[in-house]
Every structure is written in structure tokens, then in C-alpha cells.
Amino acid sequence: MLHHASTRHALSALTLTLLVASAAAGQTPSTSESSSPVVDAAQLPSPPSAPYGAQPWSAPGPAPYASPFFDSPVAPPAEPDFDRWEKRPVAFEGVLSLGSPVGILGFAIDYAPTPIFVLNAGIGVGSGGPQVAVTPRFRIPLGNVVGIGVEGGASGGP
């Protein structure tokens, strides 16, 4: 009995909501709980006319997913340009490290007379005072900006 009463209350609330919505729209509300509103297709609003090729219900502005990342043609990937290693033989480095050859905080310069041989010289401050370091490096370029290498050098300070 309790379940039946709560179901009837829910139906009354649903009917009341429909009555309020239909009264706000200017229609005559119906009092029967069993009746369902029937809408004639002629009463529905017609979609707006759209120019040829336009979507009738779309919002003004760009099409969905319009993006230069998706709509523009994609060029094939460029071949690695190993001339970059030769065109830029000098590099400046700021060093912030624990236990680096130039100490905790330092500055270094890389000079590469060839793409595979690099000289590194730097100065810095370690826990005991100023540090100086010189390091030759053998490097193998793997692309435009990445290379692997092996280095070993000397550093010193007080």
C-alpha cells in the first residue's frame, strides 16, 4: 500500500509539471492522468532554410573541429640536417649541479671544430671554492639536435 501511494504521488507530481509546462506555453491543461499530450506534426516548428552546403541547425562560426592541425596538408618529415652541427660550432652552458666538473654553479663554453669532436671549458663555484674544468668530448650526432657522446677531462680547485 505504501509503495502504491508513493507511485501515485510521483505520477501526480509528473502531471503537475506537465500542467505547468503546458499552461506556460498557452495550451489548455488536461486534467486526466492517463491522457498523454499528442502533437500534430503541422504544429512543430520547421527548420530554418539554409544556403546550399550549410548545415541547418549549426551555430554560426567555424565548423566543428576546424583546426589547422587537422585541415592543413601535412608535409613529409624532413631528413636530418647534420649541417646544423657544423653551422653552430659554439654553445654556451649554464651549470647548476651537484658534483659537476665546474662545481655546484658554473658557466661553460663548448667549441666543436668538427661535428664529432668537442672541447668544453668552464669555471664555477664548488663547495670548497672556485673550480676550473677542461673536457674533450667525442660525439655522434643522431639528428638535428640530439647526439650521444663520451667525455673525460680534468677539473680542479682549492
Is the pLDDT confidence value at 103 over 50?
yes
Mean pLDDT over 37-46 rounds to 67
Query: pLDDT tens digits for 118-147?
Result: 999 999 999 889 999 999 999 998 877 788
Confidence of residue 9 (pLDDT cuts 50, 70, 90): very low
149 lies in some domain: yes
Task: Show the cell assigned to 81.
Answer: 640536417
94 lies in some domain: yes
39 lies in some domain: no
- State residue 145's pLDDT score: 78
Eight-state DSSP code of residue 143 = S
Query: pLDDT tens digits for 62-84?
Result: 555 555 555 556 666 666 566 77
Prediction pTM value: 0.46
35 lies in some domain: no
- Give, in degrees to the nearest 5, the angle at Cα 7 between 1 and 29: 135
Is the pLDDT confidence value at 10 over 50?
no
151 lies in some domain: yes
Handedness of CA 25, 29, 32, 33 (dihedral sign): positive
100 lies in some domain: yes
Q: Is 74 exposed, middle or buried (0-12, 13-18, 19+ CB in 10 A)?
A: exposed
3-state SS, 11-72, equals HHHHHHHHHHHHHHCCCCCCCCCCCCCCCCHHHCCCCCCCCCCCCCCCCCCCCCCCCHHHHC
| Domain with 25 in it | 1-30
- State residue 11's pLDDT score: 42
Mean pLDDT over 44-49 rounds to 65
Is the pLDDT confidence value at 54 over 80?
no
Count of domains for the chain? 2
Instruction: Indicate left, alpha or beta for 42 from its phi (over 0: left) and psi (-120 to 50: alpha).
Output: alpha
147 lies in some domain: yes
110 lies in some domain: yes
